């Protein structure tokens, strides 16, 4: 599925996009103040490729091919159960729009594209962790507030320090 509007095309990322996703992730991390790390682009691309279909991703590109937005998810599949639907869900771990296009509807288009893909793929949920700034965008496309049952255990002593 491809979505084109205003000269910007949104489509699923393919293996040949691994370095594009890596460069976009680096750009996002640097905007957030993260320090550079030698070899990051190769490290990211190799890790994304190694995870294959478990890491669906989407890219938005201008007509000239310049990438301007991306989203990366983690696909989880459910084992059969009598208590819940069979299928799976995607946790969107990264959603990024280039600064010059923020607030112009591209993030909403990207998310709606992903929602359509998820519905067509038989998935029953999308989830993400929202920042305060992005929460209105996520609400516009159908995401709701956190549930009391969604909990996490953060193992801070296991997080990388650099």
d(CA 40, CA 155): 23
pLDDT band for 147, please (50, 70, 90 cuts): low
Boundaries of domain holding 96: 2-158
Largest CA distance in the chain: 49
Residue 160, SS3 per DSSP = coil
The separation between CA 59 and the C-alpha centre of its own chain, rounded to angstroms, equals 9
Interval 14-30: pLDDT, tens: 999 999 999 999 999 99
Please name which of 34, 110, 106 lies closest in space to residue 71, comparing C-alpha atoms.
110
Question: Is the predicted pLDDT of residue 160 greater than 80, yes or no?
Answer: no
Element (H, E) at 50: helix 40-51
CATH number at residue 152: 3.40.630.30
pTM score: 0.86
pLDDT band for 80, please (50, 70, 90 cuts): confident
**Number of independent structural domains in the chain:** 1
């Amino acid at each position: 599925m491809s979505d084109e509007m205003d000269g910007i095309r949104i489509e699923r990322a393919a293996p040949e996009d691994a370095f594009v996703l890596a460069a976009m992730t680096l750009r996002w991390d640097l905007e957030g103040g993260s320090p550079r790390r030698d070899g990051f682009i190769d490290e990211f691309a190799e890790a994304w490729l190694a995870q294959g279909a478990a890491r669906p991703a989407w890219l938005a590109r201008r007509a000239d091919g310049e990438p301007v937005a991306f989203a990366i998810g983690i696909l989880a599949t459910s084992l059969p159960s009598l208590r819940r639907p069979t299928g799976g869900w995607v946790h969107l771990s990264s959603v990024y729009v280039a600064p010059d296009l923020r607030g112009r509807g591209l993030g909403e288009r990207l998310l709606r594209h992903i929602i359509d893909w998820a519905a067509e793929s038989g998935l029953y949920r999308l989830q993400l962790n929202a920042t305060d700034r992005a929460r209105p965008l996520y609400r516009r496309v159908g995401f709701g507030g956190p549930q009391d049952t969604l909990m996490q255990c953060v193992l801070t002593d296991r997080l990388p320090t650099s």
